[in-house]
Amino acid sequence: MAGPEKKLLRALRGESFPVPPVWMMRQAGRYLPEYRATREKAGSFLDLCYNPDLATEVTLQPIRRYGFDAAILFADILLVPQALGADLTFVQGEGPRLSTVTSARDLEQLRPADEIHETLSPIYETVAQLRGELPPDTPLIGFAGAPWTVATYMIAGRGTPDQAPARRLLYSDTQTFDALIDRIAEATTLYLLEQIKAGAEVIKIFDSWAGALPGPWFRRYAIEPVARIIGDLRKAYPDVPIIGFPRGAGAGYLAFAEEAGAQAIALDTSVDPDWAAKALQTQMCVQGNLDPLLLVEGGEPLRKETARIKRGFAGGPHIFNLGHGITPQADPSHVDQMLEVIRNDA
């Protein structure tokens, strides 16, 4: 069981700190030379995800280097559609490619949600290994993609600029679209329950494309499926905190905070800390929201913005993080610059 000494868990339960806990989205990734060496050893990205020893290693690398206040499981949000039966590959320099689901017939070819565990069992093994190897004061974050974001990839077969294929299916065949969302939500719940059972102490749900949902559909597809998942997780594990990330939600952040049931909300780079401190941080812990490009730039712009965000959220529970994942072009030494500002009590 998690102890009260874990700073990140205390922040998630509403405690404020002069020096906030800090971790980074994609903190185990291509910006680190040790990650690139392990990735080459694995043979492919998916081989790395499904190799518990190597996935454990890359999860631990940023903890060893930077002493972050949390580790996040090394995996990918598209492992759930693969476990449901979608064909999945990662094309070097281009990203994921999946077989598509664009009709009721395609949906029928997917596996039932309760048949995902054989495929995903190496992920649960990685979680269990990490709980045995992480420092005692470092909690492990498990995660999954939100149903809308996962559906956008399954419908288009790849990432798209505006998620038009998913929106078109929503409009043209709402019944099939809803059934796909429900299948993903059920599988995601089972996946996260197993992560918690294996040792994850925090859960994060990434809705990376929430901002692409037209306003009338935001509540139905960005809030309601996530709220169902969170409700089911809470029934089984009421003490495990959950972070929601409806990236790009804009004004929808407020409705998400009020209705989804998460203990914390992660903010993208567009969100002004002054607004979020008044509108969101009074309700829950907030996480964010440094622009990842500043870790490419470094120097005074990075230090100034890090200090501004830290200062803006100083009045309530805050986890310092980025507004999205760290990029492969980031300089590892710039992470040290960021941490120096965060960890300075002044």
* Residue with token string 């065949």: 173
d(CA 308, CA 325): 20
R_g (Cα) of the chain, nearest Å: 19
The active-site residue, picked from 31, 35, 124, 153, is 153
The active-site residue, picked from 31, 35, 39, 167, is 39
30 a catalytic residue: yes
131 a catalytic residue: no
Sign for the CA dihedral angle at 52, 156, 189, 231 comes to positive
The active-site residue, picked from 10, 30, 36, 65, is 30
If one counts every other C-beta atom within 10 angstroms of the C-beta of residue 235, the result is 9
Sign for the CA dihedral angle at 224, 309, 62, 64 comes to negative
Cα→Cα distances 262→10, 121, 334, Å: 15, 26, 31
Phi and psi at 116, nearest 5°, equal: -80, -20
153 a catalytic residue: yes
106 a catalytic residue: no
The active-site residue, picked from 26, 167, 228, 247, is 26
Tokens of 54: 């190597």
* Residue with token string 């929808």: 252
Strands 264-266 and 285-290, bridge-based pairing: parallel
Tokens of 148: 């809308």
97 a catalytic residue: no
Contacts with 251 (C-beta within 8 Å, 6 or more apart), sequence order: none
The active-site residue, picked from 31, 35, 69, 76, is 76
Q: What secondary structure letter does DSSP report for 22?
A: B
| Active-site annotation, residues | 26, 30, 39, 76, 153
